[in-house]
Structure 1
Amino acid sequence: MKLDVCFSPELLPLYDLHGKVAVIVDVLRATSTIVTALDQGVTEVFAVATLDECATLGRDHGCITAAERDGIAAEGFDLGNSPFGFLNEEFPVRGRTLAISTTNGTKALHRSLDAAAVICGSFLNLSAVVDFIVAQQRDVVVVCAGWKGQFCLEDTAFGGALAARLVPLGYDVAWSDAAIAALHLWEHAQAEWPAYLLESAAVRRLNALEYHDDFVFCMKLDVYPHILPLWQNDRLIDAGGSPKQTAPSPVSLEREQ
């Protein structure tokens, strides 16, 4: 099996996703927020590209709405794009559906739907991502959401952290310079994680918006090791489970074409 890393959704036309697992990663903060929402009892997540779609799902279908543009919570929605919005006991989310639209992450997801399976990855659920990939026995492409089409350190570092887990299990990165670079980035950053990212553009943006706590939380490893957001039909559901559960077969998780 091979692992590759796509540094930006703008590069996706250069990648063939057919038959592969696409791991959508927007560490700061969309995929981290989606993982947290599912852990807190949200039943399914409609990850949509536009604010209008998000508002319509809230108005017509009773979804919780979460929306962000340029790092700032969009006006007129229940929540922004912070995992802490789903950890607030004064705003219960258990048993409800969520519609979310963000600057980068939800758009990257919609550009990746040619893959056989589309999942969301973050440092918070790294082990769940590894377990799913191993069960699927497919080639993998990590799709970094980046920032408005540009490269970002934190999503690429996640690709490297995933590679570090998968290479000992027989996954090949040697054929891809992008995957090798991501792995080397993680190996360099790991010893001083997450301080390594303090000078990154994303963290400087969050700090300017007073979201430093979001950064600290999203950098934690395996807070939710059994939460696995999987795209089925038109939404994300949690395909994770307890360690005792058997991983679903590749056939059962094949996206409808």
Structure 2
Amino acid sequence: MKLDVCFSPELLPLYDLHGKIAVIVDVLRATSTIVTALDQGVTEVFAVASLEECAALGRERGCITAAERDGIAAEGFDLGNSPFGFLNPDFPVQGRALAISTTNGTKALRRSLDAAAIVCGSFLNISAVVKFIAAQQLDVVVVCAGWKGQFCLEDTAFGGALAEQLQPLGYDTAWSDAAIAALHLWQHAKPTWPDYLLESAAVRRLNALEYHDDFVFCMKPDVYPDILPLWQDGRLVRG
């Protein structure tokens, strides 16, 4: 089996996802938020590209709505794109569906629908992703959400961390320069993780918006080792 890394959704036309697992990664913050939501009892997640779709699902299905653009919570929605929105005891989410739209992560997912299986990955649930991939025995493409089509450090580093864990399970990461680069980035960053990211564009944006706690939380490994957002029938469910 092979693992590859797509640095940006804009590069997806160069990748063939048919018959493969697509691991959608938006560490800061969409996939981390989705993982947290499912752990807190959200029943299903409709990940949509536009704010209009998100609002419509709230009206038509009674979903919790969560939306963000440029890191800022969008007006008129229940929540933004922070895991802590789903950890607030004053806003219970258990037993409800969620509609979410973000700047990068949900768009990356919607562009990956040709894959045989789609899951969401984050540091919070990396063990669950590894277990799923090991059970499926299919080639893998890590789809980094990036930032508005551009490369980002945190998603690529996650791809490298995943590669590191899959290598002993028989996954070839040496055939692709992208996978090699992601693995080298992770191995370079790992000794000082997560401080390595403090100068990254994403963390500087979050800090400017006073979301530093989100950054710290999203970097924690295996807070939710059994939570796997799995795409089924047009929505993400707990796999």
TM-score by structure 2 length? 1.00
Aligned-partner Cα distance in 1 for 2:206–2:34? 18
Q: Which runs of 4+ in 1 moved over 4 A?
A: none
Once the two structures are superposed, residues 94-142 of structure 1 have per-residue CA deviations (whole angstroms, 9 ceiling, x without a partner) of: 0000000000000000000000000000000000000000000000000
Once the two structures are superposed, residues 140-169 of structure 1 have per-residue CA deviations (whole angstroms, 9 ceiling, x without a partner) of: 000000000000000000000000000011
Q: Which residue of 1 aligns with 2:92?
A: 92
Q: Which residue of 2 aligns with 1:216?
A: 216
Instruction: Note the residue ranges of structure 1 that are not aligned, 5 or more in a row.
Output: 240-257
Aligned-partner Cα distance in 2 for 1:143–1:33? 17
Tell me the secondary structure at the aligned position of residue 224 of structure 1: coil
RMSD: 0.3
Aligned-partner Cα distance in 2 for 1:173–1:121? 18
Q: Which residue of 2 aligns with 1:233?
A: 233
Q: Which residue of 1 aligns with 2:120?
A: 120
TM-score by structure 1 length? 0.93
Tell me the secondary structure at the aligned position of residue 188 of structure 2: helix
Aligned-partner Cα distance in 2 for 1:40–1:180? 35
Q: Which residue of 1 aligns with 2:130?
A: 130
Aligned-partner Cα distance in 2 for 1:57–1:113? 20
Q: Which residue of 2 aligns with 1:181?
A: 181
Aligned-partner Cα distance in 1 for 2:165–2:174? 15
Aligned-partner Cα distance in 1 for 2:60–2:162? 38
Aligned-partner Cα distance in 2 for 1:4–1:38? 27
Once the two structures are superposed, residues 183-229 of structure 1 have per-residue CA deviations (whole angstroms, 9 ceiling, x without a partner) of: 00100111100000000000000000000000000000000000000
Q: Which residue of 2 aligns with 1:101?
A: 101
> Alignment identity in percent?
86
Mapping for residues 1-257 of structure 1, pairs under 5 Å: 1-239=1-239
Q: Given residue 132 of structure 2, which amino acid in structure 1 is its aligned partner?
A: F
Aligned-partner Cα distance in 1 for 2:11–2:56? 30
Instruction: Note the residue ranges of structure 2 that are not aligned, 5 or more in a row.
Output: none
Tell me the secondary structure at the aligned position of residue 141 of structure 1: strand
